[in-house]
Amino acid sequence: MKIITRSLAIIFSVLLMGCGGKEEKKSDGFSVDRTKSTEKPVEAASAVDEVPASKRITLDEKGVGEIKSITLDSEINTEMAAAGEAIYNTNCTACHKLDKRFIGPSPRGIMERRSPEWIMNMILDPKLMTEQDRCAKDLLIEFNGAAMANQNLTVDEARSILEYFRTL
Ligand code: HEC
């Protein structure tokens, strides 16, 4: 009887080892899953596009339009900024509010998310931008298709608004 019990025990332990072996194979399967999950950064890259356009940082994009390159002085030109503020108050506040999102996004902090060229191009030709620039296109969708009206400003006027935006 004892011999039978012992041999049963041996058989069981052999079976258990067998199972153990199978489990190892399973964990191989898991490591295959892990290699799958290393592909996720690609998905994450497309998830970046799911950040609303108004919150996206696109500082390396200059947009589409006549403004190709702008160099900002390290000091803000307060006279120019004051002129820009006046133009902003006349032409822009129907749709933009400093402290909240309105018909369009708030320009506060805009210098941290858009390049100066992009901002100037958006002010000077919003139609071209929303047709051809990816971020502006997405903004138009985010703001429910409300088109930013072209205020027919000169380059100097747009430049002074940009200077004002630097103070926000
Ligand atoms: C008729 C409403 C309207 C007026 C007026 C208007 N905007 Fe806009 N603006 C928008 C909307 C809406 C958007 C978002 C893009 C879109 O839907 O076309 C926008 C987007 C912008 C953006 C991009 C903001 C971002 O976060 O990227 C800037 C910069 C901007 N406007 C500046 C101005 C300036 C400067 C003026 C005045 C000269 C002005 N806008 C006048 C409606 C307007």
Comparing C-alpha atoms, which of 91, 71, 105, 75 is closest to residue 161? 91
Instruction: Judge whether residue 25 has pLDDT over 80.
Output: no
Instruction: Judge whether residue 44 has pLDDT over 90.
Output: no
User: Is the shortest distance between the CB of 63 and ligand 1 below 6 Å?
Assistant: no
Comparing C-alpha atoms, which of 72, 69, 68, 93 is closest to residue 81? 72
- If one compares 4 and 76, the residue with the highest pLDDT of the two is 76
The reported pLDDT for the residue numbered 29 is 52
Q: How far apart are CA 25 and CA 17, in angstroms?
A: 12
Joined tokens for residue 71: 């160099």
Instruction: Judge whether residue 91 has pLDDT over 70.
Output: yes
Mind listing the pLDDT tens digit for each residue in 50-80?
899 999 999 999 999 999 999 999 999 999 9
Q: Residue 71 Cα, ligand 1 centroid: separation in angstroms?
A: 22
| Residue 128: CB atoms within 10 Å | 17
Q: Which atom of ligand 1 is nearest to the CA of 140?
A: 17
Instruction: Judge whether residue 12 has pLDDT over 80.
Output: no
CB 138 within 8 A of CB 53: yes
User: Is the shortest distance between the CB of 76 and ligand 1 below 6 Å?
Assistant: no
User: Is the shortest distance between the CB of 123 and ligand 1 below 6 Å?
Assistant: yes
The reported pLDDT for the residue numbered 50 is 80
Closest residue by CA, ligand 1 atom 41: 92
Mind listing the pLDDT tens digit for each residue in 103-145?
999 999 999 999 999 999 999 999 999 999 999 999 999 999 9
% of the chain with per-residue pLDDT over 70: 71
Q: How far apart are CA 81 and CA 79, in angstroms?
A: 5
